[in-house]
Amino acid sequence: MEQGHALALKEAKMKATPKRLAILEMLDGESAYASPEELWKRLRDRFDRLGLPTVYRNLEELAASGVISKVIHPNRQLYYYFCRNREHHHHFVCLSCRKVEDISSCGIEALEREVSLRNGGKVLSHILQLNGLCGGCANAGGTP
Ligand SMILES: [Zn+2]
Ligand SMILES: [Zn+2]
Ligand SMILES: [Zn+2]
């Protein structure tokens, strides 16, 4: 899957550095979001003297270019997720097991038009994330 990751970076006009590729490989290995600290602990085996700020910076750069997405958790911890779906969509994130599901339909375009018409401005983008419990966690009576 290395090639897919290199391609994702290329599409975002980012250099495919070993660190970026390793981060994508780790995030892609699971269908759940991960924290910078968790990734850092695993990356340290592979990169000598790797500092946590470097991991933070790389994750921020990847998120800013749209290669990975940021998950904003109610616990205020920042997490990141790599999604193979390159179409416009949003995520439903499980606060308990950290699973992420794609939401393909996004009803926001109508709202954007309404806002633009009302104030004569122009909406350029939107951020939407649904938080909750996935089916498995809800059935197990889980709590976030
Ligand atoms: Zn869950
Ligand atoms: Zn997705
Ligand atoms: Zn949308």
Distance (Å) from CA 112 to ligand 3 centroid: 10
What domains are defined for the chain? 1-85 (1.10.10.10), 87-144 (3.30.1490.190)
Q: What's the pTM value of the predicted model, to 2 decimals?
A: 0.87
Are the C-beta atoms of residues 126 and 112 closer than 8 Å to each other? yes
For 81-108, the pLDDT digits (tens) are 999 888 889 999 999 999 999 998 888 8
Shortest-distance ligand to the CA of residue 28: 2
* Ligand approaching nearest to the C-alpha of 129: 3
Q: What is the pLDDT of residues 45-55, one digit of tens each?
A: 999 999 999 99
Quickly state the pLDDT bin for 2 (edges 50, 70, 90): low
Distance 36 CA to ligand 2 centre (A): 19
Q: Residue 36 C-alpha to ligand 1 middle, in angstroms?
A: 20
Q: Which ligand is nearest to the CA of 134?
A: 1
